[in-house]
Amino acid sequence: MCGIVGYIGKKEKKEILLDGLQDLEYRGYDSAGIAVVEGKSLQNFKAVGKLTNLREKTRNYHSEGFGAAIGHTRWATHGKPTELNAHPHMGQYSYVVHNGIIENYQALKKELAAEGVTFLSQTDTETIVHLFEQYHQASNDPFGAFEQTVKRLEGAYAILLVSEADPDAIFFAKNGSPMLIGFDGEEIYFASSDTPIIGKAKEVYYLEDGDYGYVKEGKVHLFNQSGAKSYSTQPLPTDKALAQKDGYRFFMEKEIYEQSRVMGETMMGRVLEDGIRFEELNDHLFEGINAIKICACGTSYHSALASSYLFERIAKIRCDVEIASEFRHKEPLLTNDTLFITISQSGETADTLEALKMAKRAGLRSLSICNVDNSSIVRESDATLLTRAGIEKGVASTKAFATQTMVLWMLSLWIAQQRNTIETDRLREELDAMLHTPKALIVTDALHDRIHRLSKRYLHGHGFFFIGRDLFFPLALEGALKLKEISYLHAEGYPAGEMKHGPIALADSELFTIALMPASLLYDKVKSNVEELSARDATILAISPRPFDLADDFIQTQYDSHPMLEFFEMMVVTQLLALEISIRLGNDVDMPRNLAKSVTVE
């Protein structure tokens, strides 16, 4: 779970690396580092914490003329976030950066230590550079040594290595962690995703698992286990500008405001007057399918959970949802009349990707709902529905959740059409509600201001319960996750009807209950649950279109006729509440502590 950038060519290398790492900082920001090799000179800088520390440290360093350079931003997996554990890791005359986990690193380390190698860090990565130098010293063949090294590695990796042994080359390998090569004539770039090289490279090749090789004299020499391999490039996307902050204080805030607009894009060409059309899906995907299983993590899991109500209610198809990290190890019973759906904003979440590979091995057809085209999950799936949310930079996911949920809602209708489980009138109602969604997502000044003002009353206490029923239970889970991610306050999402079976024991005036009380779905049931909490003196913030006398605080929503419109409107309220509480607490909203945007380790 780290970001990698590499460059080989004549341009100033430090700025290319630092700018690239800036774009990847969402992948991890425990520490960052760069290494540059120019002829016989090897330079290396590292700093703990955010990239700005590395910028400061390299202020007086410039690297003109031909050379090879690699950089890394880290999210710690093995070893604490210290400078010694920061990448690039150093041998005697080489440097390596790595994203992923070398699972057999302890065995390798033992072997190297027995040969007298001293380790400076606690990382799995450092074994790579020592292994390389051992093989190189024995063979005097840099690429041969790299190839031998790669063959010894087990686990997931994207690796770049530079060495005085061949100062005009960058060695690379990819297996299970993302990496691409960007081209602009003889200038060659590497990165963990498109963003750092947009505006620099023109063409791109997305490395496949098992690819390795080296770049030298403007040429890529590519191999896999069958030997030399050809590759073809494709044009690089150009929409980096969309990832700027546009005057908002935080990317998360910008992304909350963007939801209304991007939802239009999610629906474009898909929501028609008389039904849903997905050009990406063919009817065969669904032939013989009697059940759906969805696997995802975090926010994507919440979206999955919400959709399970829609699949069963609208499409009349059984739908089970599982947390990917649990699914992977439970020896699940899978039958090939099940469509296996994965949901992932990044498309790189290791647990979700592995769950998908398991399902494929069991012979299931697979569909991914993803925001990043060409990501590992997309490439692994039989079919994909892109969410079209645009780059999401805030670690706390907002517009990705909204667009995932919309795609899943559309999919439930699409399947209902295939299975003839929906009446024409009901279909029209759903389509009509969909088309109103962008309006339900608009953030008005009045709403934001109100949430800003009341957020000051929610900075203490001994915890938050977000409660809701039916579709609003997954939304409660998501509201609680948003709050805890960026405020560091304890919050739980709970089914409102379940509070009386235990958690109500916690109720007192310092227990903050955020009650999701939609008018169009089980209003009276939720109301009684909230009344039970109010009777025990819990502090209630009610979110509902219907005024509620027992609330200590109340946010009145506008929509009251369709559960999904209420869902999206309340989602925005919970996102803004988390945002405002986090800002008041002085936290870094976009880069909350201990988290990374893309979790590419198990």
Q: Work out whether 22 is an interface residue with ligand AGP (CB under 6 A).
A: no
Alpha helical stretches, state H, 160-315: 251-267, 298-313
Distance separating the N- and C-terminal Cα atoms of the chain = 10
Neighbours of 445 (CB within 10 A): 7
| Residue 597 a catalytic site member | yes
Binding mask 433-472 for ligand AGP (x = CB under 6 A): ----------------------------------------
CB of 367 to ligand AGP, least distance (A): 15
Report DSSP state, residue 554.
E
Set 13, 109, 527, 597: catalytic member: 597
Tokens linked to 577 = 């509440």
In 345-455, at which residue ranges do the beta strands (DSSP E only) sit?
Answer: 365-370, 383-386
Q: Which stretch binds ligand AGP (CB under 6 A): 100-108, 155-163, 345-353, 565-573?
A: 345-353
Do strands 234-235 and 203-206 pair parallel, antiparallel, or not at all (unpaired)?
antiparallel
- The sheet carrying 219-224 orders its strands as 89-90, 94-102, 155-163, 169-175, 212-216, 219-224, 227-228
Least CB distance from residue 89 to ligand AGP, whole Å?
Answer: 26
Q: Which of 63, 177, 259, 349 binds ligand AGP (CB under 6 A)?
A: 349
Output the smallest distance, CB 378 to ligand AGP, in A. Answer: 12
C-alpha 267 chain-centroid distance: 22
Peptide bond into 88 cis (omega under 30): yes
Q: Are 488 and 587 in contact (CB under 8 A)?
A: yes
Shortest spacing between CB 392 and ligand AGP, in angstroms: 9
**11 part of the active site:** no
* Minimum distance from residue 395 beta carbon to ligand AGP (Å): 5
Kindly tell me which of 42 and 570 has the beta carbon lying closer to ligand AGP: 570
Among 125, 127, 259, 300, binds ligand AGP (CB under 6 A): 300
* Binding-site member from 346, 376, 403, 582 for ligand AGP (CB under 6 A): 346
The answer to whether 550 and 534 are in contact (CB under 8 A) is: yes
**Backbone torsions φ then ψ of 340, nearest 5 degrees:** -100, 115
Considering only residues 350-379, where is the footprint of ligand AGP by CB under 6 A?
A: 352
Nearer to ligand AGP, 213 or 390 (CB): 390
Taking the complex as a whole, the smallest distance from the CB of residue 574 to ligand AGP amounts, in Å, to 12
Cα 248 versus chain centre, distance: 21
Residue 461 to residues 454, 457, 499, 513, 536, Cα–Cα distance (Å)? 15, 9, 18, 11, 15
Stretch that binds ligand AGP, among 240-248, 312-320, 344-352, 580-588 (CB under 6 A): 344-352
CB of 401 to ligand AGP, least distance (A): 8
Q: Is 99 in the site for ligand AGP (CB under 6 A)?
A: no
Q: Which range binds ligand AGP by CB under 6 A, 43-51, 292-300, 514-522, 541-549?
A: 292-300
Q: Which residue is nearest to ligand AGP, using beta carbons?
A: 298
CB nearer ligand AGP, residue 346 or residue 437: 346
CB of 300 to ligand AGP, least distance (A): 4
Which residues are bridge partners to 223 per DSSP?
Answer: 212, 228
**By three-state DSSP, how is residue 170 classified?**
strand
**Closest to ligand AGP by CB, 513 or 598:** 598
- According to the 3-state scheme, what is the secondary structure of 346-369? CCCCHHHHHHHHHHHHCCCEEEEE
The residue among 71 and 298 lying less far from ligand AGP, judged by its C-beta, is 298
DSSP assignment of 306-346, as one string? Answer: HHHHHHHHTS--EEEEEEHHHHTTS-----TTEEEEEEESS
3-state secondary structure of 272: strand
Separation between Cα atoms, residue 4 and residue 192, nearest integer Å: 5
Nearer to ligand AGP, 243 or 506 (CB): 243
Which of 182-190, 291-299, 456-464, 500-508 is the region at the interface with ligand AGP (rule: CB under 6 A)? 291-299
Nearest to 439 by CA among 568, 562, 551: 568
**Nearer to ligand AGP among residue 130 and residue 399 (C-beta):** 399
| Cα-to-chain-centroid distance, residue 502 | 33
Given the complex with ligand AGP, which of 157 and 301 has the nearer CB atom?
301
Site residues for ligand AGP, 381-410, by CB under 6 A, read 395-397
Complete DSSP assignment for 75-138: --SSS-S-TTTSSSEE-SSEEEEEEEEETTHHHHHHHHHHTTPPP-SS-STHHHHHHHHHHHHH
Out of 195, 299, 384, 513, the residue judged to bind ligand AGP by CB under 6 A: 299
**β-strands 291-296, 318-323: how paired?**
parallel
Q: Can you tell me which of 6, 142, 298, 474 binds ligand AGP, judged by CB under 6 A? A: 298
- Within 120-159, which residues bind ligand AGP (CB under 6 A)? none
CB closer to ligand AGP, 117 vs 481 = 481
Q: Rule CB under 6 A: which of 475-514 touch ligand AGP?
A: 485
The closest of 548, 551, 538 to 464, measured between CA atoms, is 538
Tell me the closest approach of the beta carbon of residue 347 to ligand AGP, in angstroms.
7
One of 364, 599, 600, 601 touching ligand AGP (CB under 6 A): 599
Q: Which residues are catalytic?
A: 2, 597
Residues binding ligand AGP (CB under 6 A): 297-300, 344-346, 349, 352, 395-397, 485, 595, 598-599
